[in-house]
Amino acid sequence: MSVKIFVPCDAAAISVGADVVAHAIQEQITARRLDLKVVRNGSRGMFWLEPLVEVETLRGRVAYGPVSVDAVAGLFDAGFSDGKDHPLRLGLTEEIPYLKNQERLTFARCGIIDPLSLADYVSHGGYKGLERALGMAPEAIVEEVTQSGLRGRGGAGFPTGIKWRTVLNTPGDQKYVVCNADEGDSGTYADRMIMEGDPFVLIEGMTIAAFAVGATGGYIYIRSEYPHAFRTMKRAIALAYENGYLGANVAGSGKRFDLDVRLGAGAYICGEETSMLESLEGKRGQIRPKPPLPAIEGLFAKPTAINNVISLATVPIIMEKGGAFYRDFGMGRSRGTLTIQLAGNIKHGGLVEKAFGLTLRQAIYDFGGGTFTGRPLRAVQVGGPLGAYFPESLLDTPLDYEALAAQKGLLGHGGIVVFDDTVDMAKQARFAMEFCALESCGKCTPCRIGSTRGVEVIDKIIAHQNRPANLQLLDELCELMVDGSLCALGGLTPFPVLSAVRHFPEDFDKPAPVLPAHVGERAQETQQWR
Amino acid sequence: MNQTSTWDAERALSRIRELAHLPGPLLPILHALHEEFGYIHQEAVPLLADELNISKAEVHGVISFYHDFRNAPAGRHVLRICRAEACQSMGCEALVSHVENHLGVKMGETTADRSFTLESVYCLGLCALSPSAMLDGKPYGRVSHQVADFLIDSARRHS
């Protein structure tokens, strides 16, 4: 059997040249008549090392990276296909500290297998969770997931088992499982990585969810900014059908589960679950007031279990190893592992799956290696565009749902965006409002109008117009948005805004910059409104 | 380069009918039309309303709600630059200004020779390799000003 050389097909790896590197390696193999096979795997999530090429050896997989096209011929000359030395050699992949110090449960296979090989998936423990679930009553599956302590990884942190129980207990001729893969938060990419690197784990998780709640239909709603993930999921679903893992008789159980992928269309709000349901039904992605909960009246008015990609992709290992195994990781009420995504101005950006409880500082420095630019860190945004900005002094906060909430922040989907000391926090606060105005669905006034007024008020603060009064006005506006908005977009946009004001007041107290004419005019107009 | 055909109502109708059986078919159909023609032609609105038995207002409401759907053809190449927080932390706004100067158009506009359309995008999920961009559906990370110039110039040479 020929030796395997792994070159990731993950979109981030491709973004720094993995496709051309794979091509160059194939050319060398042909020219040198070597008995080697190029396998396109997912990413290990160490993006500063991408394209990370791995070679299978008797001692394990040896990593080389970051590999450029120019380096390929030299790698072959040095004998890298036998794992031999080269300046780019990183040693055994599993021994790289960044990876070795993680606890990879959900991402156990990501970067290791060929994402579209069902044989690889099964030989690496795939479908063991489903196998066990098929021998259990729906109530028992729900109980196992409840016992695991798994909470929604999309951001809300609602216990997955309790959500499933509601769907299970709601009678319905048709029920659905919907996977929210509208990963719109900046600084997050865990959903994309798992869909591109281990798509069958999501299919398996959704199948288990369907059997637990009594659903026969499912959809994965993927954002259009993720064309690679969309294509991989589509192919994986087709393969699962061909091999009897989806359809009328899942794995010979006599049970039906049909699954399809749908593409979003560039609306951030569609990551909100009710807006996503509207979008799936072919409507404007405007949010629905709750109640009714989607668990009772969801897609096409049927009981629907909606879960994030990572929540669902974690279900197979919980079912395989038991709820207690998973619950043993973590701290307090945050059980299991968190998939931390290090992003922005960071030296070693990537995916860190670790039991809950790591502090921000450990994540950013021990794993991330500090800022990319080498300048001092000034601010960190945790949890996407609706997450709070933290100063250096709060970096000892643990990454845990409750600990972050206590600091008036949120964990969200686990994304951490690092900024160095060149950041202007007044600008970041303005952007938060601007983004909300751009992406508001328009259903409720606090979000639709409040965000636009918010941009204007911050412009006035920046322009040094009546600062104390406008800062107070901003505070009141934020309070109104938090209390009065129908969903998290309007309700959480004040988090980054107020945290910027609270932790970085000096940025709201600078001399007025020379503004472009139109900004000044708009500030003038809104003066009357005040 | 974007491979799209000119508007053809017959062709549009057949694409609509291929997908009309799906539950909640409107978004998949709009994506299919967008892929085929590069934008949603005004004439598609009454066609969709008729075929799906919904009002023209509903169709228009959906098309205008989503950022993805254009109402006019784009340039031969579409360059989308991420402007979300992770890319902001790595200087995407300077990159945007640089590219705008290079092409002589603003974000959201198409060059006079119709070679390039510039679009803002809010997160491509390449946040550990910021600033990032997508050119004709292909992702690019660590996009320096030089890389952007190279991408634009080589795309232009090939079309």
B27 interface with A at CB cutoff 8 Å? yes
Helix (H) / strand (E) containing B98:
helix B92-103
Enter the tokens of residue A73. Answer: 């011929």
A414 contact partners, CB below 8 Å, separation of at least 6: A153, A188, A190, A338, A339, A340, A341, A383, A399
The whole-angstrom distance between residue B101's C-alpha and the CA centroid of its chain comes to 21
Taking the CA atoms of A38, A42, A45 and A51 in sequence, report the sign of the dihedral they define.
positive
What local confidence, expressed as pLDDT, does residue A508 receive?
96
Q: Domains of chain A (ranges plus CATH)?
A: 3-100 (3.40.30.10), 118-327 (3.40.50.11540), 330-420 (3.10.20.600), 425-529 (1.20.1440.230)
Whether B23 has a pLDDT exceeding 80, the answer reads: yes
Q: Domains of chain B (ranges plus CATH)?
A: 9-65 (no CATH), 77-157 (3.40.30.10)
The DSSP string of B52-97 is HT--HHHHHHHHHHSTT--SS---SEEEEEE-SHHHHTTTHHHHHH
Q: Which candidate, A15, A4, A99, places its Cα nearest to that of A53?
A: A4
- Chain B residues near residue A12 by CB distance under 8 angstroms: 125-126, 128-129, 139, 141
- Chain A residues near residue B137 by CB distance under 8 angstroms: 227
Taking the CA atoms of A26, A28, A30 and A35 in sequence, report the sign of the dihedral they define.
negative
A24 contact partners, CB below 8 Å, separation of at least 6: A69, A72, A73
**3-class SS of residue A418:** strand
Q: Considering the entire predicted model, what is its pTM?
A: 0.96
Q: What ipTM was reported for this prediction?
A: 0.97
Residue in this structure with the two tokens 């040095």, named with its chain if needed: A78
Average pLDDT over residues B46-51: 98
DSSP state of A2: P
What local confidence, expressed as pLDDT, does residue A519 receive?
54
- Chain B residues near residue A285 by CB distance under 8 angstroms: 65-66
The residue length of chain A stands at 530
B86 interface with A at CB cutoff 8 Å? yes
Q: Kind of pairing, strands B138-140 and A304-308?
A: unpaired
Q: Which candidate, A484, A492, A501, places its Cα nearest to that of A435?
A: A492
d(CA A490, CA A484): 8
Rounded CA Rg of chain B: 17
What local confidence, expressed as pLDDT, does residue B118 receive?
98
Per the CB < 8 A criterion, the answer to whether A381 and A417 are in contact is yes
pLDDT tens sequence across A458-500: 999 999 999 999 999 999 999 999 999 999 999 999 999 999 9
- The closest CB to that of B66, out of A186, A265, A381, belongs to A265
The neighbouring-strand residues paired with A429 are none
**3-class SS of residue A138:** helix
d(CA A72, CA A28): 8
Low-confidence ranges of chain A (pLDDT < 50): 523, 526-530
The whole-angstrom distance between residue A65's C-alpha and the CA centroid of its chain comes to 24
Q: Do A280 and B24 touch (CB under 8 A)?
A: yes
B144 contact partners, CB below 8 Å, separation of at least 6: none
What local confidence, expressed as pLDDT, does residue A512 receive?
82
A389 contact partners, CB below 8 Å, separation of at least 6: A379, A380, A381, A425, A428, A496, A499, A500, A503, A504
Q: Rounded to the nearest 10 degrees, how much is the dihedral formed by the CA atoms of A99, A102, A106, A111?
A: 0
What local confidence, expressed as pLDDT, does residue A521 receive?
55
Q: How far is A382 from chain B (nearest CA, A)?
A: 11
- Chain A residues near residue B35 by CB distance under 8 angstroms: none
Write the Ramachandran bin of A291: left for phi over 0, alpha for psi from -120 to 50, otherwise beta: beta
A161 contact partners, CB below 8 Å, separation of at least 6: A142, A143, A144, A145, A146, A147, A148, A150
What local confidence, expressed as pLDDT, does residue A530 receive?
39
Average pLDDT over residues B32-59: 97
